[in-house]
A and B are shown apart, each in its own frame.
Chain A
Amino acid sequence: MLEFLLNTIIAMSKGVGYTVSLFVITIIFSMPLGLLCTFMSNGKNPVLRAITRAYVFVMRGTPLMLQLFFFYFGITKIPFIGQFLVMERFTAACVTFVLNYAAYFCEIFRGGLLSVDKGQYEASKVLGLTKWQTTVRIVLPQMFKVVLPSVSNEAITLVKDTALITAIGIMDLMHITKSLVNGSAGSIEPFIVAAVFYLMVTFGLTKLFNYLEKKFMF
């Protein structure tokens, strides 16, 4: 019994790599991309504004699963250019997740940006700070404070969303869990082990964000 559990854990730990890497890559790339979109959608250029709005509308308005299939299978079927867009499973998953989460972060950051008081910009201007200095030193720190709870929420959702990549045949934690269950004539232990893993990660994230929220309390 114990041995079975141990073997289960060892087998599943191989899938954890994909799950964790996807999570880390998505967080690292989608947040800056989301921030860039925020500035574009708030900027003066009407073309960039329209592009970001359309992008956010599509990425938020369609299922992540559909986007995953699109970037892995669909995109290769586009006439002429499709053949250049063939990606490894995991690459396609990363591209999909980064683009999807960037759209959500864009909206979250946009809300945060709107919450920064007009007086902060005025004080900065009168003190002679440049637009860049105002953004980096005055606006962004105040924005981060406001968006932290929502970012925390997104990060936790992301941990669980990574399980979707099973659908395009990546041997992630969820995939291995499922095959272990199928292979062992209906034992449920793998499900529980997987659940404990996801819970451990989300618990860690919750603690991390609680810490950040305390640190950004001003």
Chain B
Amino acid sequence: MINVCNIVKSFGENDVLKGVSFKVEKGQAISIIGSSGSGKSTILRSIVGLENVDGGSIYIDDEPLVENGIYVDDKTFRSRSLKMGMVFQHFNLFPHLTVRENLCLAPKCVLKRGKDVLNQRCEKLLEKVGLIDKIDAMPSSLSGGQKQRVAIARALMMEPEILLFDEPTSALDPELTGEVLSVMKELAAENMTMIIVTHEMSFAREVSDRVIFMDKGVVLVDDVPEKVLVNPENERIKSFLNKL
């Protein structure tokens, strides 16, 4: 479903990604872990087009977004990348719009869905994330955990086939991470294809089909959670896990 092939990216002198490759099959949940600066977030941002890679290829359903460092044209990129939704560390809700408007704006403008369809879907998704009572609230009145659940619902409104999570609980108070993680677990149980950059090791172990450990811009290990998180052989991973 997603095929990331040898992508390379540098910010000035700093080589952030030094040839990263991995595949994600439909229905899989993949966690990407590693210390900060290892390039985890940059991978997600590159897949979704918030960063441009310098080399390598990214395919969605065998269709290229970028091939050997050359991007498809903007329009094609936009339509292909619509298969992906993204959830950010800092939620990035639109502060001037109500929860309902946050959810409905993009599907209305981009997918041209009708009002009734949107309202129905909006209510269904808010029900799912447990925030139907906040439908007319402004984002500023929500807690961090609630904001992130709205952000997940907003991403789902675009009917994505793949959801990317960029440290979705890192900006939350510890007691609020649970409500976000449980929504994500539910999505994983429904076989949503997900790539999750996270520091929540027990969560990663529980929901992931595979865990990718990144270090200094390369994939060090890409294996089932037991191999990476429970009985790691690699010394670098051992010392990373011990520090947590």
Is B92 within 8 A of A122, CB to CB? yes
Contacts of B86 in A (CB 8 A): 123, 126
Closest CB of chain B to A210's CB: distance in Å? 19
Task: Tell which of B78, B95, B96 touches A128, judged by Cβ atoms closer than 8 Å.
Answer: B78
Closest CB of chain B to A78's CB: distance in Å? 45
Task: Tell which of A119, A125, A128 touches B158, judged by Cβ atoms closer than 8 Å.
Answer: A128
Q: Which of B94, B105, B111, B138 has the most CB of A within 10 A?
A: B94
Please tell me the number of chain B residues within 8 Å of chain A, measured between CB atoms. 28
- Does residue B172 face the partner (Cβ distance < 8 Å to A)? no
- Does residue B48 face the partner (Cβ distance < 8 Å to A)? yes
- Does residue B244 face the partner (Cβ distance < 8 Å to A)? no
Is A137 within 8 A of B48, CB to CB? no
- Does residue A141 face the partner (Cβ distance < 8 Å to B)? yes
Task: Tell which of B49, B95, B109 touches A125, judged by Cβ atoms closer than 8 Å.
Answer: B49
Tell me the complex Cα distance, A137–B93, Å. 13
Tell me the complex Cα distance, A137–B109, Å. 10
Binding site secondary structure of chain A: helix
Tell me the complex Cα distance, A142–B96, Å. 7
Contacts of A137 in B (CB 8 A): 105, 109
- Does residue A88 face the partner (Cβ distance < 8 Å to B)? no
Tell me the complex Cα distance, A88–B111, Å. 52
Beyond A124-B106, A125-B49, A218-B140, 16 additional pairs, beta carbon < 8 A: A119-B90, A123-B88, A126-B48, A126-B49, A126-B81, A126-B85, A127-B85, A128-B81, A128-B110, A129-B106, A130-B109, A137-B109, A142-B96, A145-B96, A218-B96, A218-B138
